[in-house]
Structure 1
């Protein structure tokens, strides 16, 4: 019988930003493929969260952790803890993120600093700490959440665009160093997904219409649309895939 390359049974996945939206959908998809989940968020309930209920309903274990990605020391400590657990982390999904909207000429330093810290610096710190243990074992899967703004400039989100462009570069830099040691590093670039981050856009009739007119699929994406790509990049099906930024965008970039 041919092995199921997408089977994640026995694997442990850490998913940051797992409380809702894309992160929750990623955690559910990984659990459906067989992985146990450590879900991470700055405000994740220790028990009874929607994501924990969804994962446990699929027969997988769920552990909740609260980490503020704006606090580098907390992220560093969490990463070191993960690296020294008895059960190794097989899959790290770096999905935690934030967005601050303001015209560039009015974009305050504190907005810039927070977005860069949460979306880029903390992602590197956590991956560095967990990646050390993966390299020592000679196995691991790292998945970043990039963005369409890893390819484009966006409007009124200079910090977010800079951070997500940085994630695209970081993905390639780590992949160059780690692929030969059994650790693959890739990223998923979600298109315009109906989440909290895009609420302002969806509430703006003109922007919403302009966005929909450009998406060949003809609709806003759903969080669950990211599940298949996540499982692919977390599984042995992608063992020879390294350093890519995979758009899941309804055809936006191909338009």
Structure 2
């Protein structure tokens, strides 16, 4: 059975910059051989749940102000309309045609650079309760038995208003929140994580919740949590990766 994963994708420049997180994701992909990937990205927010049925999802460059080399990146992984249709029925989700936003294609391009693993995008219903997002993950859990990798792509901390130079140290308010999350995940304290907004400095680390919410989906889809990677970029972007096995 494959684990589910929470991946902190940070800045889109993760695709090009040889950071510790970049190197880690390169290695992580070599340890996994999924038949397909279901990804819930912070950059596809919705009210109602949606699933992309695209057979050839385009690479979406949903950002600005970065070098041309980033806009030249393409990730031509195929979709999986049959899996998408199963998800639509299982989850009562709306069927749409949509490409891969950078929360999906940036980490996947590092993990599976040959773009030969089918990818199905599932939207992030941001108005759902934390408990409902965990339940969504639980509904995906059985697919792991079939060799399908469930990924929640967000960022453990994500306050772009406080962005710093790339190699800046992590401020205490970022570290305190990251350690709180790690402790609760390590102890299996899901009740505390359902109330993560009450954690130390939660609002300062997440002025809006969409980059934390994919963790709840990944948590629901898996079991015991293990921190696979921790690093920081731009001071305020904790690049943690968690496995739920």
TM-score bracket relative to the smaller structure: 0.3 to 0.5
TM-score normalised to structure 1 length: 0.36
Whose helix proportion is higher, 1 or 2?
A: 1
TM-score normalised to structure 2 length: 0.37
